[in-house]
Structure 1
C-alpha cells in the first residue's frame, strides 16, 4: 500500500509553491477561489455555505460548536485541526460530545489520513482568533491561506508521509513476527501430551487481546466472589428458570461463561444446546464442572475470543451474558456482547439481560473524605497537598453506607441491549440532585440497574440502598465539599468517554457550577 495514495493532498498552484508572486496576483487568486471554489458543507448538517467563515458562524449559533473555544481548550495546532475535521467526517459525532469531552477524541494519528479533499482542510487554522481587531474567524467572510503557511503545511505533510511509511514497515515486521509465533505455538500445542489432546475436541483456541484483563479471570477467587454474590447469581437463575418456557429446545450462547453456572441454569431450563465461550483458563475447570454434573451432552464449552472464533452454529436463539463491569461500563464486555448479538443472534432471539441503566447519587461522608483526600494535608508532620489533585482523579469502588446519602438519585444513561452500539460507552447527561437533608456533598456515587424484561420479570440494582453486590458503587470525590441545605438542588453535567490507550477504561468528567472534575478508571 502506498502512503501517497492514502494522503490526498491538494495540488499546489504556482503561488503556493514558494515561487515569487506579488500581492496583487495573490489577491486575485484567492478572490477567484472564493467565487468559483466549492461550497463548504457544515460539519454537522447538510447545509452549504459560500465561505468557511459563514459556516463557522452557523456551527457556533446553530450547533453550539465554537472552534476557537475548542482550540484554546485543547491547545490545538494545525495537525490537531486536520485530525479533528477527519474525525468529524468519519465518526459524525454530536457536537455536544466534542464540547463536553474531557479529552480530544481525535488524537489518533489515523485521522491524519483524510478522505476526499475539502475546503475545511484549506482553512488557515493557525491564525484563528489571532487578529484582535477582526472577528473570530475571518475578514469579510474570507479565509485566505498564506503562501508561507501553506508551503510549510505541505512540507510537514511530506514529513508525516515518511513517518507513516516507516510505521507501516514496522507494522508489517510485527505482523510477520506474530505469524511466526502463532506457528510455533500451534506446533507446541499439537505435540502436547495426551491430556492436552483430550481437550482439543472441546476447545477452540483463539488469539488474545487484553491479556491482563482475561488472565485476571483465571484466578478462582474472582469466581468465588461472583458466585457468592447472591443478588447477581439469584437474579440470573430466576430469570432463566422462571422463564423456562423461553429456553425449551432452544440454542443458547453463554458469553464469558466462566465456571459455567449460567450455562447449567440454561440446560436445567430445558435448552437443547448451550455453547459457553470464555478466553480465560478457568474454562478448563468449567469443563470438569460440566462433566461432574453430567451435562456434557447439552453444554459445549469453547476457549477463545468470540471475535476470532467460529461457533459450531450459525445462529442462536438466546444470548445469556454477565458482561457488566464497575460503573457498568468499566472493563465490561459490552463490545463482545454487541458482536455476538449482531453476528449470531436470530432476528427474533432473546437477550438476557436486555436493559441496563446508570444512576448517580450525592454522598456526604466527611470522615471518609478526610481519610482519602485531606489525609495528604499532614502526613507525619509533612505537607503532601500536591498529591490531592492526583488522588481525586481516581474513581474508588466501595460500599457507600445508606446513612451517608444526601441527595436523591437520577438516571444518567439507559442502554437498550437490543439496539445499542459500541458508542454506548460515550455519553453526556445533565443532572439535578435534590438534597434530602443538610450536609456537605463530598462525592458523587455511580451505580447501575439491570433488567430481564421477560414474561416473569426480574431486575436487580447495585445501588447503595440495595443489597450489596460485588460491583459495589463507584465513588467520585469532589475537589472541595459543597454545603447543601435540605431541598437545595445541585445542578451539573456528567460525561463519559473511552480511554484512548485502554478501550476497557473510562474517562469521566463531572461539572458542577464552574468546577470541573476529571476522573480516570484504568
Structure 2
C-alpha cells in the first residue's frame, strides 16, 4: 500500500474512532470481509440489483448515479456497465479503500468516484444526481438500516424527476407454529442442569430471532403491515404503529409472529421484485421471529387482532424498540388468549 493510501486509511479510522460507540460499531462491522462475502453470495439480492440496473440501460445511459453505502462497489460497477455518465459511491467504512482497488482492477476508475465519509457530511462532485441506488435494508427491513441516509441523499441531491433503485419496500407478517424450537430457545431456561434460570427467559423472549422459517410453519395468512414509497416517505415514517388482523388457515397453535420484507424496483421496463419471506429462496436477511409469551390455540377462520409499535431506540437510532399486542377473537371461553410483549433488536 502506498504511503498516501495508508494515510487515507489511517485518517478514516481516526474519524471512525471519534464517532459515538454505536456508530463506530455499525460502520466497523462493514470493514470485515465476511459480511461482504455473505451479501455478494446472496444471489437473490445481488442478481435482483444486477437485473434492475443492467437490464434497464435506457434509464442509466449518460446519467449521474449516486450509490449510497456502496460497500465493495458492486452496484456502482453495475451502473457503470449500464452506461452511466458517472457514478459516485459513498461509504463511511474503510472497505471503500478495497472498493477503489476493485474498481481500478476492473478498469472503471474514470467512470466511478468513491468517497469515504458520512453522506450527511461530504460534498458530492455533482450538484444533483439523476439516480440513487442503494442496498440499505437491514433485518426486519429497518434494523441497522441506512434508509434515513438514503432519504437525506434523496432530499439533498436527487433531481426533481430522478429515480430511486429500489423504490418500494413492504413488511409482511404471519403467525407460525413453532413449538419445538420455542421450547429449545425459550423453555431451555426453565431447567439448566437442575437450576431455575427463568430470569434469562425474559431476556430470551425480548430478543427477536433472525432465522429461516419453513413455509409449512405458517398458520395464518400473511398480511402487509408497512409499505414504504421511497419517493415520498420521511424519516418520521420509520417509527410507526399499526393495527392488523391475522386469519388462521387451519386449526393449530400460534407460538410466534414472523416478519419479512419484499423489495420492488418499479422504474424498470419490466418490474423487478424480490422477497425475503419463508416462501421464497434463501436470502441473508432470513426472517425475524417474535415469540409470544402465550400459546394461542386457533381454529380455521378465526382472527388474531394485533397491534405493532416500532421505533428507533432513543440511545441508538440503529436499534429498534418493538411492542406487540395480540388478542384472539374466539367464541370458545377455554381458548381465550391475549397479551403483549416488548422486544429490542440490538
Deviation (angstroms), 1:487: 2.0
Equivalent residue, structure 2, for 1:450: 263
Contact 2:210 / 2:287 at 8 angstroms: preserved in 1?
A: yes
Instruction: Choose from 281, 284, 292 the match for 1:470.
Output: 284
Equivalent residue, structure 1, for 2:165: 352
Within the alignment, does 1:248 sit opposite 2:54 as a pair? no
Which sections of structure 1, spanning at least 5 residues, go unmatched? 1-191
Equivalent residue, structure 2, for 1:375: 188
- RCO higher in 1 or 2 (8 Å CA, sep ≥ 6)? 2
Write out aligned runs for 1:86-485 (5 A).
193-196=3-6, 208=19, 210-454=23-267, 455-485=269-299
- Three-state SS of the structure 2 residue aligned to 1:408 is coil
Contact 2:294 / 2:339 at 8 angstroms: preserved in 1?
A: no
Distance 2:301 2:9 in 1: 63
Distance 2:5 2:345 in 1: 40
Deviates more, 1:386-395 or 1:333-342: 386-395
Contact 1:208 / 1:305 at 8 angstroms: preserved in 2?
A: no
Deviation (angstroms), 1:492: 1.5
User: Where has structure 1 moved over 6 Å in runs of 4 or more?
Assistant: 197-200
Which sections of structure 2, spanning at least 5 residues, go unmatched? 328-337
Q: Which has the larger radius of gyration?
A: 1
- Three-state SS of the structure 2 residue aligned to 1:285 is helix
Structure ranking higher in strand proportion: 2
Distance 1:238 1:520 in 2: 35
TM-score (norm 1): 0.61
- Three-state SS of the structure 2 residue aligned to 1:379 is coil
Distance 2:253 2:207 in 1: 20
Structure ranking higher in helix proportion: 1
Contact 2:177 / 2:252 at 8 angstroms: preserved in 1?
A: yes
Distance 1:503 1:385 in 2: 30
TM-score (norm 2): 0.91
Deviation (angstroms), 1:494: 1.0
Deviation (angstroms), 1:335: 1.0
Count of matched residue positions in the alignment of Structure 1 and Structure 2: 327
Deviates more, 1:433-442 or 1:233-242: 433-442
Distance 1:451 1:335 in 2: 18
Distance 1:492 1:402 in 2: 21
Contact 2:9 / 2:94 at 8 angstroms: preserved in 1?
A: no
Contact 1:393 / 1:519 at 8 angstroms: preserved in 2?
A: yes
Distance 1:275 1:386 in 2: 50
Contact 2:169 / 2:227 at 8 angstroms: preserved in 1?
A: yes
